[in-house]
Structure 1
């Protein structure tokens, strides 16, 4: 530790674009500040990234250093060397900082795997083989993520499963709070996330397109996010006039998202511990999600939502149909989801676990 009595921590992320891991890092920083820690964020992204504005509004200390020039590398080293704990939040970050990691081996170096991708490609295998001698501890957000990482042979590196936590809003904000009138005869389904292949949002549109016209007229789809596949989703929507869908684009304010949906739908092919699911539950929303990664840890069938097999369009369509006329059931599931998150996935608990881990070395 430094002579400063405060524990100093810098979180390193690939970018400050809207994403579950990035949003979690910002929330964690706020909680760590309340614990009396000195925290900062280092991003390799761009000043235009959406969450840069959020960091600025919250008064968080952050640095943005992109590029591979020797000047950028030196500046990164100078910034990182000022902190006792360096917390890396993605494989891409580890790759970018591999030589810094070697030079900063006297620091406490924490590597968190937010996803469950096995990273079996040769370049990832060699990177992790090189890095493991310098990492103080590796953390995972689910047992599934730890299991898929096993082939990297980090058995001599301390390993921990630390669930991502979420801070509950002080009240369940409804449509009335936001000025958007709610129609109890309409089921508003929300999709939140990057529009990329692994998120598979097209399957939600396909599921609704298989329903009868009367049912389609009782459903609204609200897509929050952006990405390379947005045009594909919009094209499918235009080809199926019976589907009501709104593409809101990138949205950083959670109070503009969750109060304006009734049920969150997660269609991903893989997930670690989904921050989107945790956030929706914190706002009292039930969830329909694929049975992958950490999703079954969060979504308890008939208690906090429902699960279905990835890419089973008929099963997804059936689950949506089942909720159409069951407003009371949706409310009960949402209430139970909020209680579950409050008990099991408290952000304060997560911050406490990391505080203990930072002090190990």
Structure 2
């Protein structure tokens, strides 16, 4: 009889954390080696739909439904989690992100081994400092997506002897050598990620207003900013929409919502902008590089693990968004620079971030835990 593993997903949307663990499962032999059980809170989610095609058992019940009696909801939720664990009796339980605090806590209370996968950056780790301390002590193994995530976690609670750094990876390399330089009159910039203040979409929109006024005055080209991602902060979204309307930018700023077809995103993109204030790893960055798209990124810690400025990407200081204007102009009016950045980015991903090379390390860690 196969040993059992329970994977716990905090949400089923297309967040970086969810996508990275989903891709590891998809490309590994774990589904063949073990009897895999997966918890997903929402049956209508992207993740549930994808996992339903896999050889695994999916468990689904809501975490919190936002009703008035939150204490009652928590009691019901913990009852169902406990019942699920008792029914499965897994060899170990795998929590994806520090928001898996509840499953790690319950698992240890019930005597089960746990693995925690940390995707969060410095700001979130510091915000949940008490939770991080407990998770650091309770988890049997902690997997980090980057050196910066590990270092920031370890500053809060020491986990040197039970940690492993395994970066995110990309599934395919899709560099189109025929698309060199930006020769179109309409330039498509894309910013990809959940709509919230940390991703800084609003700051980029304000910059686009300035860029377009300069370029249109030169009667040369026009900039379109494509924004992909689900909305987590509707107040933030409404502020952006009001600014767009007041400045008559409706035809230059396009909100696409959550897009599961990655080819569609990057085929409609000339340059990717990563504007996050805080990131532990740049999943969008390596995806863009794998499609041969130059990346302009803020100097968040996750990006600095991947990009060497002016070699395989371009960096701006988070406190100096106006520098994006110069960097965009540098790429769209200089085909040599555009090609240098995109080609170096492509080869950087091929060398270090191919998923097929990362999966084996991840499998080894899981097998080691089940054998201990």
What's the TM-score bracket when you normalise by the shorter of the two chains? 0.7 to 0.9
Count of aligned residue pairs for this structure pair: 346
Match for 1:158 among 145, 159, 162?
A: 162
Match for 1:86 among 89, 93, 98?
A: 93
Say yes or no: does 1:322 pair with 2:330: yes
What is the deviation of 1:239? 2.2
**What's the counterpart of residue 63 of structure 1?**
59
Please give the per-residue CA displacement for 1:198-229, whole angstroms capped at 9, x wherever unaligned.
Answer: 11111111112223525155211111113123
Match for 1:143 among 143, 147, 150?
A: 147
Say yes or no: does 1:225 pair with 2:229: yes
Point out 4+ residue stretches in structure 1 off by more than 6 angstroms.
none
Match for 1:299 among 303, 307, 315?
A: 307
8 Å CA contact 2:173–2:350 kept in 1: the answer is: no
Match for 2:20 among 19, 24, 31?
A: 24
Say yes or no: does 1:308 pair with 2:306: no
C-alpha distance in 2 between matches for 1:307 and 1:276: 15
C-alpha distance in 2 between matches for 1:13 and 1:272: 18
8 Å CA contact 2:95–2:104 kept in 1: the answer is: no
- Cα 1:233–1:38, aligned 2, differ >3 Å: closer, same or farther? farther
What is the deviation of 1:353? 1.1
What is the deviation of 1:59? 6.4
Match for 2:107 among 97, 100, 113?
A: 100
C-alpha distance in 1 between matches for 2:17 and 2:43: 18
C-alpha distance in 2 between matches for 1:9 and 1:125: 28
Say yes or no: does 1:279 pair with 2:279: no
C-alpha distance in 1 between matches for 2:337 and 2:53: 38
Q: Secondary structure at the match of 1:313?
A: coil
- Cα 1:318–1:28, aligned 2, differ >3 Å: closer, same or farther? same
8 Å CA contact 1:51–1:252 kept in 2: the answer is: no
**What's the counterpart of residue 184 of structure 2?**
184
**What's the counterpart of residue 193 of structure 1?**
193
C-alpha distance in 2 between matches for 1:283 and 1:41: 33
**What's the counterpart of residue 263 of structure 2?**
255
**What's the counterpart of residue 208 of structure 1?**
208
Q: Secondary structure at the match of 2:6?
A: strand
8 Å CA contact 1:65–1:76 kept in 2: the answer is: no
8 Å CA contact 2:82–2:106 kept in 1: the answer is: no
TM-score (norm 2): 0.83
TM-score (norm 1): 0.85
